[in-house]
């Protein structure tokens, strides 16, 4: 019985850890979508964040500087997305796909350019911290209060974003731009500027998500290490109905599935590991099939805003 509880504790705790990169990416995506930009480039921003985060930490020997690199690189990739879509009015889907594929190629190229072929340098991954007093509580302590700082920052983002998006003027501006860009324009809001900011903040958060993979979860960079997590994050925004709390629920659910998959493998369950690895992808499809009809996405999504036409 004692062993079983220990297994459940590990499962829940690692599920929360695994949900963190999804949470950052999905919340960032949500901000961009609230401003009316469907950012399909998240995966590309994430993998660049993973690479730059690793580089930063490797060179400086400091994880925090690594994360800073990841954030900046995510934002730079996002500014490219914003430039293509907001300024040049390229189709949003095309712009997103271009940024995704650039991130995929560029991260692999730059990593090999920096370290050569056949080496796999490491950094010491960010460790979990105990929260004094709380982490000693049986069961709840190790599940909730024994994580790395990013997990808590991720949780804190949820109420903060909720308040900003729904209770402040900034949030109202953001939503107006997303729902009705023309009206926003007539109110004197710069649609272009709001969309740039929203996409870049989203990109910075995707950068955090990517750096989390390389700097917290493994301590190395691997080509394509994001494994479609950026795409899953887009699905989770829909599943969570563009609401921070819904999104957090969706991310925790997916983190748990990932953790379950890992711990079943570790427990030696007789299922091929490839089939287990498919689980999150199959679930993402199932979730999309289940929720797509019931959702209402921001009305202005998918359209580049032009003043003169129409």
Partner 1 sequence: MSLSFAKPTTRTIIRTLIPIGTALLAFVVTGFLLLAGGFDPLEAYGLLLKGSVGGVREVGETLVRTTSLLLTGLAVGFAFRCRVWNIGAEGQLYFGAIGAVVIALTVAGQIPVFGVIIAIIFAMIFGAGWAAIAGVLKSRLGVNEIIVTVMLNFIAILFVDFLVHGALKAPGFEPQSALIPLTSQLPILIEGTRLHAGFLVAIAAAVLIYLILFKTKTGFSLRATGVNPKASGYAGINVKRSILLTLLISGAVAGIAGACLVQGVNDRLLVGISPGYGFIAIIIALLGREHPLGITFVAIFFGALMSGANLMYQTMGIPVAIAETLQALVLIFALVGEFFARWKFKEAPK
Residues forming the site for partner 1 (CB under 8 A): 40, 80, 84, 88-90, 93-95, 97-99, 101-102, 104-106, 108-114, 116-117, 223, 227-228, 231-232, 234-235, 238, 272, 274-275, 277-278, 281-282, 284-285, 288-289, 292-293
For partner 1, which is the closer residue by CB, 89 or 241? 89
The least CB distance from residue 131 to partner 1, in Å, is 36
- Residue ranges in the chain assigned as alpha helix (H): 2-34, 42-60, 63-82, 92-115, 140-144, 149-167, 169-179, 181-186, 191-212, 229-239, 244-266, 273-291
Contacts of 253 (CB under 8 A, 6+ apart): 19
Rounded to whole angstroms, how far apart are CA atoms 88 and 29? Answer: 21
Whether the Cβ atoms of residue 238 and residue 291 lie closer than 8 Å to each other: yes
The least CB distance from residue 119 to partner 1, in Å, is 12
For partner 1, which is the closer residue by CB, 129 or 301? 301
Maximum CA pair distance of the chain? 69
| Residue from 244, 221, 240 nearest 287 by CA | 240
Contacts of 90 (CB under 8 A, 6+ apart): 84, 98, 304
The least CB distance from residue 242 to partner 1, in Å, is 14
The least CB distance from residue 167 to partner 1, in Å, is 30
For partner 1, which is the closer residue by CB, 3 or 113? 113
**Quick one: tokens of 133?**
């007093």
For partner 1, which is the closer residue by CB, 269 or 278? 278
For partner 1, which is the closer residue by CB, 89 or 243? 89
Contacts of 83 (CB under 8 A, 6+ apart): none
The least CB distance from residue 13 to partner 1, in Å, is 26
The least CB distance from residue 207 to partner 1, in Å, is 18
For partner 1, which is the closer residue by CB, 154 or 280? 280
For partner 1, which is the closer residue by CB, 183 or 306? 306
Rounded to whole angstroms, how far apart are CA atoms 269 and 288? Answer: 28
The least CB distance from residue 104 to partner 1, in Å, is 7
Looking only at the bridges linking them, the beta strands covering 129-130 and 146-147 are antiparallel
The DSSP result for 138-149, as a single string, is TTHHHHHSEE-H
């Amino acid at each position: 019985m004692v062993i079983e509880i220990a297994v459940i504790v590990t499962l829940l705790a690692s599920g929360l850890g695994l949900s963190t990169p999804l949470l950052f990416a999905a919340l960032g995506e949500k901000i961009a979508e609230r401003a009316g930009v469907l950012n399909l480039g998240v995966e590309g921003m994430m993998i660049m964040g993973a690479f730059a985060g690793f580089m930063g930490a490797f060179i400086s020997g400091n994880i925090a500087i690594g994360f800073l690199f990841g954030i900046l690189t995510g934002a730079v990739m996002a500014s490219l997305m914003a430039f293509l879509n907001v300024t040049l009015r390229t189709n949003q889907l095309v712009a997103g796909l271009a940024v995704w594929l650039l991130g995929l190629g560029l991260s692999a190229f730059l990593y090999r350019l920096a370290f050569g072929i056949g080496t796999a340098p490491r950094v010491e991954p960010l460790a979990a911290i105990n929260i004094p007093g709380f982490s000693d509580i049986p069961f709840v302590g190790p599940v909730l209060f024994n994580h790395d700082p990013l997990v808590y920052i991720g949780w804190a983002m949820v109420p903060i974003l909720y308040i900003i998006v729904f209770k402040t003027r900034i949030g109202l501006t953001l939503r107006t731009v997303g729902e009705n860009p023309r009206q926003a324009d007539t109110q004197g809001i710069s649609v272009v500027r709001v969309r740039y900011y929203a996409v870049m903040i989203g990109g910075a958060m995707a950068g955090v998500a990517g750096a989390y993979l390389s700097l917290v979860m493994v301590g190395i960079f691997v080509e394509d290490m994001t494994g479609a997590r950026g795409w899953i994050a887009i699905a989770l925004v829909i599943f969570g109905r563009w609401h921070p709390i819904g999104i957090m629920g969706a991310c925790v659910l997916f983190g748990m599935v990932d953790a379950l998959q890992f711990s079943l493998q570790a427990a030696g369950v007789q299922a091929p590991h490839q089939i287990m690895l498919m689980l999150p992808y199959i679930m993402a499809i199932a979730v999309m099939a289940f929720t797509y009809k019931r959702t209402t996405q921001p009305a202005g999504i998918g359209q580049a805003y032009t003043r003169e036409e129409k």
